[in-house]
Structure 1
Amino acid sequence: MNFEASAKSQDYLARLKAFMDEHVLPIEQDIFDENSRLNESPDWRTWQVPSQIQPLKEKARQAGLWNLFLPDTELAQGLTCLEYAPLAEQTGRSLIAPEIFNCNAPDTGNMEVLYHFGNEAQKKQWLTPLLNGEIRSVFAMTEPDVASSDATNMEATIEASGDELILNGKKWWTTGLGHPNAKIAIFMGLSNPENDKHSQHSMVIVPLDTPGVSIKRMLTACGEYDAPYGHGEMEFTNVRVPKENLIMGLGKGFAIAQGRLGPGRIHHCMRAIGAAERSLELMIKRGLSRTAFGKPLIKLGGNLERVAKARMAIDQARLLTLHAAWKIDTAGVKHAMTEISSIKVVVPNMLQQVSDMAIQMFGGAGVSGDHPVASFNAMGRILRLADGPDEVHMGMVSRLELRKYL
């Protein structure tokens, strides 16, 4: 196995890093401050995107740093999962960067669904504007009334009626729902209860302005609304959409989800590794620049050992994630399930630990909005639930491991 970045990947990484150093990181705090002023209200209907984001998106597109995640040479840059991995890590160094390069979740996962499983009409109507950055999308899967760690519990329904599909149910933690440009949801629901449990659900494209779709509220995550993106609670009440909005076919929801979540977890984990690297960098700079009890902070209270532990943990997590990306590219998602589930546990826990070390080094400033380390810490904690909690992924790894002996 070879994890060395290709010449193509190295070229994109150098250009991406230069772009971020020149255009993104110098104004990052200004954008955070503007975002706080624009979006103080919990009412998502008033949320706005900071004024400097769109010009940065246009610059990134002109620079050819756009849709880097999609392995298509005509619609995107044609990078493999392994080639894209270090780029995802680089964008993870800033909370605002993924949107600037049109590589933000959940849009990347939804674009992959439409790219791999959508028909030509669906691609033309919905994938093209997503790839152009003209609209945003959400993924409506998790439900408030069932244990969604077991996705087969989903109770929201999809009923065929003539030329239409009728959708009913509740969804929550629908990320990105508060964004002013959010226009469509990919809704996953129970359509074929008579089938085996992994062939009972389907995915349907639902424009958010369809009658019967209502946003009940935005949820706080670790005390923040995450405006202008947000995590929403929704209700679908006799929502009617054309059958043409069905993706791939009835009962194909879990097959689609498996294809969607493999590369998507690589993206999440590599961005988290980038956040951990930034946390370590900020931690070291803070420790070298501040003095207490006559010594630099970095030399007090076991901080040097924490730096060493952070370095080891980040490098271990990166190697595990690159291995998973390599295996997806060479063997396919179905043959990389152990690796995919492993990184989904290891990387968010690592980010939590490293960012917590950084918070401690910063003291009171570490839990404020003046530095990104508290947000990185929240990101790690949330990722331990998003796309399946730790326990589900450890269960997957243990089942696959036991199979070798049965």
Structure 2
Amino acid sequence: MDNYLDKISQIVEDDILSLEHDFLMNGFGHVLPQLNECRKKVKEQGLWTPYLSDQYGGMGLTLVEFAAVSELLGKTPLGHYCFNSQAPDIGNIELLKDHASDQLKSEFLQPLISGEIRSCFGMTEPQRPGSNPTWMDTRAVRDGDDYVINGNKWFTSAADGASICVVMAVTDPETENKYERASMFVVPVDNPGFEIVRNIPVMGDVGEGYMSHGETRLTDCRISASNIIGKEGEGFILAQERLGPGRIHHCMRWIGICERAVALMCARASSREISPNKFLSEKQTIQNWISESAAKIYGARLMVLDCAKKIEAHQTKGARKE
């Protein structure tokens, strides 16, 4: 495991960090050619899709092991993309792998795993709280061998440039069990009736490509009934199955961000002279701030890794009791 982590860390340091300035100044599309070259290198070194089993061309890492990888990749906003481990693709790949039909796997899963296409995930809606996936307006109505979907989604991560959208829509609004109202579907973005309305500004930046959050609209969007993921009424269950490990990935990514921030803080404190031959790092208050930040990061890492271990042992639902 340490050998893999060393290789991953080396690629982050040598090939990815240098792209950040160009990315921040000129956008994702400007560095995409270099990112694609980096992705080729990752594949050649056998580090591609580390969360997948050997059967799917991955490294076969457990959730706990991949958490350590996610921490390393999180030190740069471009890290996960270079290893095909970025959200929402990583969650959609797991969904399709475990619950999609053979037809959907052949048509969409393999291209996602190989990095030929990207995907997006449509759950949050403008008029409904994204924190409550049991309450949605988007409807999928069965019509013979098809479903017809109508509704709006927003903050659909990475919709710009995606080939498919995993859409969560209500299929049984009358059921008393609110957790069985919705289902999940694979909707090609070029399907008639599917529209990307705009990229939504986040902190003033509309973004582009993978680094964007879109508003989407489905108007009489007709898809084959075979495009359902799992069974009708399993949308909420699948969302939780998808989001449970995803929260581990994100938390470890944020911890990676925190570690880099502390490293930058230490570098600044050690290089900033406040008087001749006296540095900011010699001030006790600065030392306290740095040590307190480091201690909180270490504590957060242990807590997240413990949670990952419990999810491995008891699955997402069982781990909640802890």
TM-score range, shorter chain: over 0.9
Query: 1:50, CA displacement in angstroms?
Result: 2.8
1:117 pairs with 2:99: yes
CA distance in 2, matches of 1:190, 1:64: 40
Moved over 4 A (4+): none
| Secondary structure in structure 1 of the residue aligned to 2:163 | strand
Name the structure 2 match of 1:20.
12
Query: Structure 1 residues 130 and 48 mapped into 2: Cα distance closer, same or farther (>3 Å)?
Result: farther
Residue pairs, 1:7-46, within 5 angstroms: 9-25=1-17, 27-32=18-23, 36-37=25-26
Query: 1:193, CA displacement in angstroms?
Result: 1.4
1:311 pairs with 2:294: yes
Query: 1:291, CA displacement in angstroms?
Result: 1.8
Residue pairs, 1:4-403, within 5 angstroms: 9-25=1-17, 27-32=18-23, 36-37=25-26, 50-70=32-52, 72-75=53-56, 76-178=58-160, 180=161, 182-195=162-175, 196-228=177-209, 229-293=211-275, 295-300=278-283, 302-337=285-320
Query: 1:49, CA displacement in angstroms?
Result: 5.2
Instruction: Name the amino acid aligned to 1:37.
Output: N
Query: Structure 1 residues 315 and 338 mapped into 2: Cα distance closer, same or farther (>3 Å)?
Result: farther
CA distance in 1, matches of 2:93, 2:8: 21
Deviations along 1:40-85, whole A, 9 cap, x unmatched? xxxxxxx565321110000101111110122x22111111101111
CA distance in 2, matches of 1:37, 1:80: 36
The alignment's TM-score, normalised by the length of structure 2, stands at 0.94
Give the unaligned 5+ runs of structure 2.
Answer: none
Contact 2:199 2:207 (8 Å CA) reproduced: no
| Secondary structure in structure 2 of the residue aligned to 1:160 | strand
**RMSD, aligned α-carbons:** 1.7
Query: 1:19, CA displacement in angstroms?
Result: 2.1
CA distance in 2, matches of 1:201, 1:125: 24
Indicate the percent of aligned positions where both proteins have the same amino acid. 36
CA distance in 1, matches of 2:136, 2:274: 54
The alignment's TM-score, normalised by the length of structure 1, stands at 0.75
Query: 1:37, CA displacement in angstroms?
Result: 2.9
The structure carrying a bigger strand percent of its residues is 2
Larger RCO of the pair (alpha carbons < 8 Å, separation 6+) = 2
Query: Structure 1 residues 151 and 103 mapped into 2: Cα distance closer, same or farther (>3 Å)?
Result: same
